[in-house]
Structures are given as structure tokens and as C-alpha cells.
Structure 1
Amino acid sequence: MTTPADMAFGLLREGRFGDAETLVTREVEAVAARHGHGSPEWASAQCDLGNVLLQADQLGRAIECFRQAAAVAPRDHETHKDRLTYRLNVGLALRMAGRLDESEAELRKGAEERLAFYGREHAGYAFGLEPLASVLLERGDVPGARQVVEETVANFWNNGHERVASALALRAAVVLAGDTGEPPFAGLDRLPDHIVEQIAADAGRLPIEDGPARKRLLTELAAAMEQRLGPDHQGTVNALSTLANVSRDIGDESGRVDTISRVLAAYDRQGRQEEALMAALGLAMAQDDAGDTAGSLRTYESAHERARRIDRPEVSSQVLRNWGLALKEAGQTGPAEQRMTEALETARRGADHETVGRAGVALGLFLQHEGRLDEARDTLEEALAVMDPVHRDAIVGRSHLGAVLDGRTCGCGDMPETIAAAFREFVLTRLPADLLDHLDVAIVDGDFKIDVHLRREPTEAEINRLNEVFGTAQAEFRHRLSDSRYAG
């Protein structure tokens, strides 16, 4: 049966942060009414709310939810286990917030409680050791991290627990940080394939902020995966894909091109056409970022041929749209318009509204920047009519449509105003209609500046609701703000 938490995480995957929070907040209130504030059931609901807030980047509120859940006295063995989980979540959220001193203290306390509850040989104890080792590594205490991670690996290994994969990934990062010359991924031949694959996935998710250190780890990982599993195994390909992303993040564009080329070759050898097409699109973008415009356009042309063989409108439209944008950036306006027009026509033959919308926004912006405002207006209006209004491209399109209606050839500078207006609407629809006199929202220095005037004195519950709504809005629309760059 689908739970409110399951539904909330579904909403989060759609980018609907506010709706997800509202759903779980109501569940907390319903559980409190049924079982009582401070009951184990209430603690569980508080934990669910904390997890939703965590995903919405509201770390302070998430930490408080986890703390409240962990403060509830357990009634039996199972609810005691739950409280250990809540305490672990406090430590993890503190780490995510960059409060490493507090995180280490919380995780040490949690590990001690787990030791008393489970005993040293039980895997439940190692679940508390692993995040402690990660925080120690992040704080630069490599010897301390090495001691804790070795105990973690031994515990999971002796228990035959699959969590040994994440522990081995963390151990590899600790070994490299210690610069001892040891091979970071030794002993993979003694592990089954699925555990080796999981090591690759977990290594890619390690919270290593230093770009070169992260690339070094993933380079070693890709080599170990290729030696253990072969160049075409999905574990190897996944490691290479993560390495390509890290290369982009640190500005190593030539390394990114080389790595994506290896991924593309692996998919081609396996005859996996759709995966190869997506790799080809990634390669084209990497070549463009590396300054190889001619090579990028050749790759887009070959990607179009791949898409024609796949013969799905949404796939072909995506390729044509991206190719058109690349041609526009290269100054080839005639071919760019042709490809973007084809992208919209192709999308219309399919059944995916988002594809139609994205192709329409791309073409509409092109027409606007070319001064063809009537055509731009019609194209943008068609695109926006079929898109989710909070989709990134819909927000971009709406800002440019406003400029078109004002007779201007560019609306790129209107994005902050458009997002601020959407922020204001988001807040107003979630508060009592008689509470606010007016609300001014502006974007200053890349963040929201809010001026609130109330009509009357709010109740304590309304003050809490105000804080919650504004916190949720800031989390949700900061995502929109960070994603608001668009070719044009």
C-alpha cells in the first residue's frame, strides 16, 4: 500500500517540493490526533517529514524533525531500533549542513548506543560506524577515519552483509587520502559481481568535495571495474559516466570527451542504440565545451542518424532541438532554425506534451531573438499551453513571452522577475486569505528578498505556518533560480 511518505517522495521527484511537504505535514498532524504527540507513531511521521525537508534543502528544519523523533522514548525493541535510526539521521543531516563538529559528536553518541544495543559483532553496530568514518575523513582526520572504516569493513564482511560494498568504497577514499601507495580497490576478485557493481555506485555517491581527489578516486575505480568486470559491463560504464561528470565539474573537458567516448564505444559494441544515442548527445556537449565546435556539430549529425534508426518522435525531437541550439550558438542561424522547426514538428507527431513544450520554447526564443515577435508569440503560447507551469523551460518561456508581448526581442533578463512572481503566487495560495496585506518578492544578489505586511496579528499556529511556507518556497524556488540559465 502506498503511504503518504511514498507519495511525497513521488512529488519530490517531480520537483513539487511544496506539495510534498504539505502532504507529510498533514500526515504528522493526523498521526498526532490518532496516537498522541510524542508517541512512537508520531516520531515515525516526524522522521518522514524530516526526510522530505532534507530532500527540499531545508536542512535546519529537517534536523529539528529528526531531533524531535529521536527524543521520543521507545516502548519496545522495535521502537528502540527506530530511535537509533532517528539519531543517525540527526548526525547525517548535520553533516549535510556542514556542521561537522556537531555531526561527529552525534554520530559518536549514536555508535555508542548501537554498540550497547546490538553488540560489537552485529551489523547494526557497523551501520553507525560507517557515517562516522565518513565525517572523520571529511574533517581531515585520516588516521581516525582509517581505524573506524577498517572496523566497519570487517564487521560487514564477517556478517556477509551487502553493505560491505559502501564500506569498501569509503575505505578506498580513505586509503587514497592517506597517500600510502596501497591499491584502493584491492580484493575485488573475492567478491561477487553484484557487490562489485554496488561498490562502483557507492563510490560515485561519496561526499568528497575536493574535485581532483574525487576524480582520482573515480579514475582508480573505473580502472578496477574494467579489470574485474570488463570494458562493456554496466558497472564499468557507470563508473566511466560518473567520472565524466566529475571531469566536467572540475573543468577537465578533454578528459570528459575521452571518457564519454569510451562509454559510447561500449554501448555501440553491445548494440544498445538508445543508450548510445544519449552518450552521443553527451559527447557533443562535451566537445562543444572543449572548444571543438566542428566536432560537436558532426557528433550531433551522427546522433540524428542514430535517432532516425530508433524512430521515436520524442527521441528525434530532443536530438534536433539540441542540434539546433548548438547551431545557433555557432552562428549558423539558417540551419539552426531548420533543425528547431523540425524538432517541434517531430514532437507534435508524438504523445509527449513536455517534448512539444520544450521544442516550442526553444524555437520561440530563437524567433524572438531574431526579431520575429508575432511568430515567437504564437510558438511560445502553444508550448506553454501544454507544459507543467513549474517546469524549468516553462518558466523560461513565460519570461520571454512577457517580453514578446511588450514588443521586446529578448526576455533573458526577465527571469528573476518571473521567478519572483511565481514565488509570490506560491506563498499566497498557501496562507489564509485574510492574513497578508501585501507581499513583495525580489531577487537580490542571487537570493530572495521578501517584504511581508500583515493585516492582523497572527496566531502562534499562523506564525509557524508562515515560517514553514516561506521556508518551503525558498527551497523550491532556489532550485528554479539555479536552473534558470538558458541558451539565448
Structure 2
Amino acid sequence: MTAAPTPVDVAFALLREGRLVDAENVMTREVQAATVRHGAGSPAWASAQCDLGNVLLNADQLDRAVECFRQAASAPPRDHESHKDQLTYRLNLGMALRFADRLDEAERELRQGVRERLAFYGREHAGYAFGLEPLADLLLHRGNHAEARQVVEEAVQNLWSNGHERVASALALRAMIVHASDSTDPVFVGFPQLPDEVVEQIAHAVLQAVDHGEPASKDLVALLVAAVEERLGPDHQATLNALSVQANLGQDLGDQADRVEAIERVLASYDRQGRPEEAVMAALGLAMAQGDAGDPDAALRTYESAYARAERVGRPELQSQVLRNWGLALRDAGRSGPAEQRLTEAVTQARRGADHETVGRAGVALGLFLQHEERLPEARTVLEETLPLLGPAHPDAIVGRSHLGAVLEGRTCGCGDMAGTIAEAFREFVLTRLPADLLADLEVAIVDDDFKINVELRREPAEDELDRLNAVFQSAHAEFRRRLTEPRYTG
């Protein structure tokens, strides 16, 4: 019989669905229950605080996560096991401070954690190395390459000697430190001796940590691609993952030729392996890369071949996605007739499937096209019909609502009041997550690229309602703040 999911399992499942407030509420109730049953400062209370901190950390609520981990680490140990747990809580605190860019505090906590781990475990125990690795990462981030190298080498030696699986992440960090320090030493070591799964873990750890705004990342990922391909082969998923990140780096850093080459290698591999759905998605990426590289004719040919592939797969959602992107490319090429045909077909195919988001995205693309073609009544009909299929925080929904506002004002171009649309989406996000009788009024505006909020309560909230109110606003800020800085939708 399958075990019932724990509260933490439930919370992270909710996070994966984008239900940040609900996820937080699950763990907040666990903290309250632990307080009632065992008392504040108890091991059970500290554990619940840590779990809540992990949920907040994964919801980008960094400062609140820091306070949860700080609370957990403050609980005095009562036995050997609770002492081990406290070491974990302090490690989490240091890492959360690092993620929050509170680097001085992070370094103090991580160094203290290393000292405490040394005293508790001894130098040869893997538990000591667990504290060395995040300290080395912080030192790398702060540009202290010499000490970072010293610390990470000790972690690697420890974990290698213990045969511990976490040697993979330590070797990945060592590679990044060696590369950043411009050393002539090999960046990736030990690949011939390591099992396949450890090589995969090293590659994954490097790719997760790559800075997409740093030009030096291109060389690091190129070295990784070569090392993984030599060890695991050109069709191994780890190689393909590395090539995909190489393509993304090409896009982020403006090297479109590198991007195109990387995607072509991925596409060729999917064809060799007989993976048609993945090949369709790779072809879409290749077409967009070719367009960004200034070769629209090649992009349109690739879209045509991508649609032929999607037809063979036969999944309506996939066909709709290809048609939508193909239609947008035709529009950008000035071919309005074929563009409208593809965008209309995208909506038709999406409706054959079961995914509402695909219908909504196709509808927004067609609605914007019709608006720019000065066919405002048709644009309004399509947008009003398909926008409700997207959640208020969906980027296409925000852009679609802004354009619908322009349509209602009789304008054929322009995004309307984008800031006002984001503010209204923020307001809707909050109102749909609070008791209907709690707020008398909620005003949201954007001033100096941040949200200005005025709340008028209808009644005095209960303590749990006040906590929920604060949590909802925190989640709304986390969800919508990035919308203010995202590149504008061109669909």
C-alpha cells in the first residue's frame, strides 16, 4: 500500500501547480500544530519551521525563508539527533541568506556551520564535507577563488574517500571554481573512473548553476558538452541537456550561430533515436533561432517541416503550438494572408485537444493579429472568448488583456496600459484568494516599477485571516514583480 503523502509532499505538489498561498498554508498549519503539541523551541517545532522555510524558499520568498531557518536553528538541541538537525537548519539558513544576496550574513553562518560540523563529525566524516561545499560556492560567488578552491578540494577529497554520492555536486562546483580562476588545471576530472549516473549528476549540477548573463559561461558549457559527449555519447540525455543549455546561452548572450548549431545537433539526435515529439520541439527552437539569426526564409522552411512532423505525431496541442509560432513568423515576414490562416488553424487544433492553456495562447495570438489588421470587432470576440482560459498571472493573459483594453478604446496597435493591466491582474490574483467579505476595497498601482497598494478592510480579520492576507500579498508580489521586467510579448 502506498504511504499517504506528508504535509511537505502536499505543499510541494501545490507549489508545482503554482498554488503558492495554499502550499504555504499547509506548512503554516503544521508549525501551529507542532507549537500546540510540543511547544515552541521543541525539535518537532524546529522541524516544522524548516519545512515551512523550504516551501518559502522554493516560492522565492527568500527573506521569510531566512527567518524560518533562523528560528529552526535557534532551537537548542536535546539529543544527538536534534543536534544533527540543528546543523542542517544552520546550513539551510546560510544558503538562504546567500540566495537572498545577504552575503556577509551568509558567510558568517556558513563558516560557523563548518566549525560546528567539524566538532560534531570530525574531519574525515562526510557530514563535515556537507558544510564545506556551500561555503566554497559562496566564496566563488564573492570572487575569493583561491580559498574557494582550497575548500572545495577538501570537500571533494572527503566525499571521494567516503564513496559518497554527493561527490558529484562537489566535482561540479570544483569545475566552476577552476574555470573561474583561469587555472590551467583540467576543469572536469575523474570522468573515466566515475559511473554514468555520477557523470550525469555532475553535468546537471553545472547546468543548474550556469550564469546566463556571464559570457565566460559559454566556454564552461562547451567544455562540459565535449566532456559528457566523449564519456556518454552524442545521444545520451545528459549530452542533449548540455547542448540545450548551450543553445539557451547563445540566445541570452547574442551568439545566434552557436545557438543554431547546438539545436541542430539536438534535432539530429532526436531523429536518430526516433523521438518524434521531442524532435518537433527542437525544430520549433531551431526555427526561432534561425529567425533571430536574421534568416527568416530558413525559419519558415523549418516551421513547415516542424508542422509536418507534428501532423505525424497527431497530437492537437502540439500541432496548435507549431501553427501558432509559424503564424507569428509569417506575420513578422509581412505575409498576412498565410499568417492568418496558420493562426486560425492554431485555434481550431487547440480546441480539438483538452488543454485550455493551449486554446488561450492560440486565441491571444490570433486576437492580437486581428487587432493589428484593424479588424477590431473580430479581435474583441476572440480575446473575450479565450482570455478566461488563462490564469490572471499567465504572461499571455496579461498581454491579451492589455491589447483587449486597446481594442475597446478603438485602437489598432499598441499594448494599451500594460502597467495598469499588470496591476489589475495583481488585484484579481489577490481577490480570488481571500474571503469575499474581508476586503471593502483594494487599489493597486505601479509606481517607479513597483506595486503601490491601498487596502481597505470591511471588518477586523481574525489572526489566521491576517496571516493569510499577508501571505497572499507576498505571493502576489513574487508572482508579478518579474512581469514588470520581462521582455514584452511580441505575439
Q: TM-score range by the shorter chain?
A: over 0.9
Q: How does 1:58-77 map to 2 (within 5 A)?
A: 58-77=61-80
Give yes or no for the alignment of 1:147 onto 2:150.
yes
1:351-405 C-alpha deviation (Å, 9 max, x unpaired)? 2222222211211221122222222222223313433444332333333334334
Q: Provide the residue aligned with 2:18 in structure 1.
A: 15
CA distance in structure 1 between the partners assigned to 2:334 and 2:259 by the alignment: 25
- In structure 1, how many angstroms separate the alpha carbons of the residues matched to 2:219 and 2:284? 25
Instruction: Kindly provide the amino acid, as one letter, of the partner of residue 137 in structure 2.
Output: S
1:253 aligns with 2:276: no
User: Which of these residues, 173, 178, 193, is aligned with residue 175 of structure 1?
Assistant: 178
CA distance in 2, matches of 1:87, 1:260: 42
Give the 3 Å change call, closer, same or farther, for CA 455–83 of structure 1 in structure 2. Answer: same
Aligned residues: 488
Q: In structure 2, how many angstroms separate the alpha carbons of the residues matched to 1:11 and 1:365?
A: 33
Partner of 1:403: 406
Q: Deviation per CA, 1:416-460: give whole Å up to 9, x if none.
A: 212212322444455677775643211133321223456788898
Q: Is the 8 A contact 1:211 1:246 kept in 2?
A: no
3-state DSSP of counterpart to 2:446? strand
Q: Aligned equivalents of 2:387 and 2:439: distance in 1?
A: 30
Which of 296, 299, 317 is residue 320 of structure 2 equivalent to? 317
| One-letter amino acid of the counterpart of residue 449, structure 1 | K
* From 52, 55, 77, the counterpart of 2:58: 55
Measured in 2, the distance between the counterparts of 1:327 and 1:51 equals: 45
Moved more, 55-64 or 451-460: 451-460
Q: How do 1:55-134 residues align onto structure 2 when only pairs under 5 Å count?
A: 55-134=58-137
* CA–CA separation in structure 2 for the residues paired with 1:450 and 1:245: 36
| In 1, Cα distance between equivalents of 2:268 and 2:130 | 39
Deviations 1:205-264 (A, max 9, x none): 126476122222111101111111121211111111111112222222221111111111
Match of 1:364 among 356, 362, 367: 367
Which AA in structure 2 matches 1:6?
A: D
Distance 1:484-1:174 versus aligned 2 partners, 3 A rule:
closer
Distance verdict in 2 for CA 1:194–1:462, change over 3 Å:
closer
Query: Matched residues, percent identical?
Result: 70
Output aligned runs, 1:322-337, within 5 Å: 322-337=325-340
Residue of structure 1 in register with 2:9 after alignment? 6
Closer, same or farther in 2 for the Cα pair 1:362/1:303, shift >3 Å? same
SS of the equivalent of 1:412 reads coil
**2:319–2:346 CA contact under 8 A, matched in 1:** yes
Query: What is the TM-score of this pair, normalised by structure 2?
Result: 0.92
Q: Which secondary structure does the structure 1 equivalent of 2:60 belong to? A: coil
Alpha carbons 2:392, 2:425 under 8 Å: kept: no
Q: Shift of residue 464 of structure 1?
A: 5.9
In 2, the alpha carbon distance for the partners of 1:345 and 1:209 equals 37
Deviation (angstroms), 1:410: 4.2
Task: State the distance in 2 between where 1:459 and 1:423 align.
Answer: 23
Aligned match of 1:279: 282
Letter of the aligned partner of 2:443 in structure 1?
D
Q: Cα deviation per residue 1:18-68 (whole Å; 9 max; x = unaligned)?
A: 332233223322332333222222222211221222222221111111101
Find the counterpart in structure 1 of residue 479 from structure 2: 476
* SS of structure 1 residue aligned to 2:139: helix
Check if 1:413 corresponds to 2:416.
yes
CA positional deviation for 1:408: 3.3
1:166, 1:6 → 2: CA distance?
A: 24
Asked whether the equivalents of residues 213 and 253 of structure 2 are also in contact (C-alpha less than 8 Å), the reply is no
CA shift in 2, pair 1:388/1:57, >3 Å: same
